[in-house]
């Protein structure tokens, strides 16, 4: 199985996937990083591990269809089977949804359907909830709306700051994403 990871930023989830593959814990090949930000740290992580990267500038295209058509060409050229979003800050459009139906997955730092969209951790703190968490879901045309694959709760303690909560959520994300990718791709092979 060959996967592509889409990221726009730091790429700590991308790194967790790289590390799990290197450690032999995840039997997949990371065939491509797709990135829409020239300065993203994820690009450096890919370079450190010899992972091919397609970096594009959305503004230089007339439409989402146009840049997704270029992405699709890259995915095909690298024989990518599944797409895993890891902090990719754009909605996926019809070109990719049509070609990778049921094979695009996202991770989100809340228990969806609570707190979709940007800054889910800040939204949870603002709402004063005692439990938040991590959701992994199939991607559809909406924002963080596709069918849920896996969820895990993270407790918000009185003493938590934004930083400490973020650390707990990240640790959960890294573990749950690896486990879920493994489960999904084993299922896909059966």
- The contact set with ligand GRF (CB under 6 A) reads 7, 9-14, 86-87, 107-109, 173
Could you write out the DSSP letters of every residue in 59-128? GGSSSHHHHHHHHHHHHHHTT--EEEESS--S---HHHHHHSTT-EEEEESS-TTSS-SS-HHHHHHHHT
> Residues 11, 4, 168, CA angle at the centre, nearest 5°?
35
Q: How many CA atoms lie within 13 A of 133 on its CB side?
A: 13
CB 80 within 8 A of CB 187: no
Query: How many residues are given for the chain?
Result: 190
CB nearer to ligand GRF: pick between 14 and 82: 14
CB nearer to ligand GRF: pick between 49 and 69: 49
What's the closest the beta carbon of residue 189 comes to ligand GRF, in angstroms? Answer: 26
What amino acid positions are annotated as catalytic residues? 108
CB nearer to ligand GRF: pick between 10 and 53: 10
What's the closest the beta carbon of residue 16 comes to ligand GRF, in angstroms? Answer: 8
What's the closest the beta carbon of residue 116 comes to ligand GRF, in angstroms? Answer: 11
Q: Which residue is nearest to ligand GRF (CB)?
A: 87
């Amino acid at each position: 199985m060959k996967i592509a990871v889409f990221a726009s930023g730091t790429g700590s989830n991308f790194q967790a996937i790289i590390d799990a593959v290197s450690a032999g814990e995840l039997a997949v090949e990371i065939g491509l990083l797709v990135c829409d930000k020239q300065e993203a740290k994820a690009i450096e992580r890919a370079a450190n591990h010899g992972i091919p990267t397609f970096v594009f500038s959305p503004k230089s295209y007339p439409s989402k269809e146009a840049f997704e058509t270029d992405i699709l060409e890259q995915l095909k050229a690298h024989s990518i089977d599944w797409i895993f979003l890891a902090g990719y800050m754009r909605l996926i459009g019809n070109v990719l949804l049509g070609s990778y139906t049921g094979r695009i997955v996202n991770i989100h730092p809340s228990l969806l359907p609570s707190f979709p969209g940007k800054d889910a951790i800040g939204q949870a703190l603002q709402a004063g909830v005692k439990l938040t968490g991590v959701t992994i879901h199939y991607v559809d045309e909406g924002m963080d709306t596709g069918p849920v694959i896996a969820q895990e709760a993270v407790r918000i303690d009185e003493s938590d700051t934004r930083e400490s909560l973020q650390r707990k959520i990240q640790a959960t994300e890294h573990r749950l994403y690896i486990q879920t990718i493994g489960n999904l791709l084993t299922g896909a092979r059966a």
